[in-house]
């Protein structure tokens, strides 16, 4: 009985993975609006109702795919980080930032699904069904790569931050909630700087991926490197190699 159960679990896991792979193929070939349950079923040679044995909705399928993409991206970030000394947090932060950009510009459709606007009729918030917890965990692992390096920089070097009372009350309360979620080891001003740096990093990459820098730039990488230098300067550090 155990052997039969293990075989069923293995076959189910293989079919589950194939569903996500089919969704990704459709995303790459035809764009996000082409990713539907019926299209995925056709890709797999099965009926759309058959998919409900694995996922209760298209949103749940996309949640699972986004979790896969977070995992793939996080793997690239960790590889870029781990070739450098654990004692050099700034060099590691610059490396994962560059790895984030390289993966993003090389995978624009995947970036759009993971970080951009959702397909029509769907929300960026994860579904309540299958895949939601996996997506939350995968997103947490991705964020932890940046968060841990930033916390290390704060512990080892410090950088200018605002006192709590100088932060707008509406923002201060939100920063406090986020700081608690991170374990409460960083002051609110450091959390504010971290989020500001992430907004700059993400915004620069997103504008390049979505083609919104072409009005001014022919070499978006040069602008990205300039932004890294500015972020390091805000932390009162210098980009390695300067």
Q: What are phi and psi of 235, to 5 degrees?
A: -90, 5
Q: What is the DSSP string of 38-63?
A: HHHHHHHTS-HHHHTTT-SSHHHHHH
pLDDT in tens, 102-144: 999 999 999 999 998 665 555 544 443 444 588 889 999 999 9
Tens of pLDDT, residues 199-223: 999 999 999 999 999 999 999 999 9
For residue 67, pLDDT over 90 is answered with yes
DSSP sequence for 210-224: TT-STTT-S-HHHHH
> Closest Cα partner for 156 from 231, 230, 90?
90
Q: pTM, whole model, 2 decimals?
A: 0.89
Identify the structural domains of the chain with CATH numbers, from first to last: 1-54 (1.10.10), 58-234 (1.10.357.10)
Which residue, among 224, 231, 225, has the nearest Cα to 205 in the 3D structure?
224
> What pLDDT is stored for residue 1 in this prediction?
56
> Long-range contacts made by residues 220-229, C-beta under 8 angstroms, separation at least 24?
221/101, 224/98, 224/101, 227/200, 227/201, 228/94, 228/97, 228/98
């Amino acid at each position: 009985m155990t052997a039969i159960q293990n075989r069923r679990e293995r076959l189910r896991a293989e079919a589950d993975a194939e569903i996500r792979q089919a969704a990704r193929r459709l995303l790459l070939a035809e764009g996000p609006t082409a990713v539907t349950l019926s299209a995925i079923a056709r890709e797999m040679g099965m009926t759309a109702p058959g998919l409900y044995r694995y996922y209760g909705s298209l949103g749940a399928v996309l949640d699972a795919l986004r979790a896969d993409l977070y995992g793939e991206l996080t793997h690239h970030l960790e590889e870029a980080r781990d070739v450098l000394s654990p004692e050099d947090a700034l060099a590691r932060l610059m490396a994962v930032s560059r790895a984030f950009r390289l993966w993003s510009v090389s995978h624009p459709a995947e970036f759009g699904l993971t970080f951009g606007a959702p397909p029509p009729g769907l929300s960026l918030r994860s579904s309540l069904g299958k895949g939601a917890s996996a997506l939350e965990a995968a997103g947490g692992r991705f964020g932890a790569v940046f968060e841990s390096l930033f916390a290390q920089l704060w512990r080892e070097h410090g950088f200018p931050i605002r006192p709590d009372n100088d932060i707008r009350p509406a923002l201060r309360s939100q920063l406090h909630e986020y700081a608690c979620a991170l374990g409460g080891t960083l002051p609110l001003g450091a959390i504010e700087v971290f989020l500001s740096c992430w907004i700059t990093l993400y915004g620069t990459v997103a504008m390049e991926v979505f083609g919104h820098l072409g009005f001014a730039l022919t070499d978006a990488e040069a602008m990205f490197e300039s932004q890294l230098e500015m972020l390091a300067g805000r932390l009162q550090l210098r980009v390695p190699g300067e």
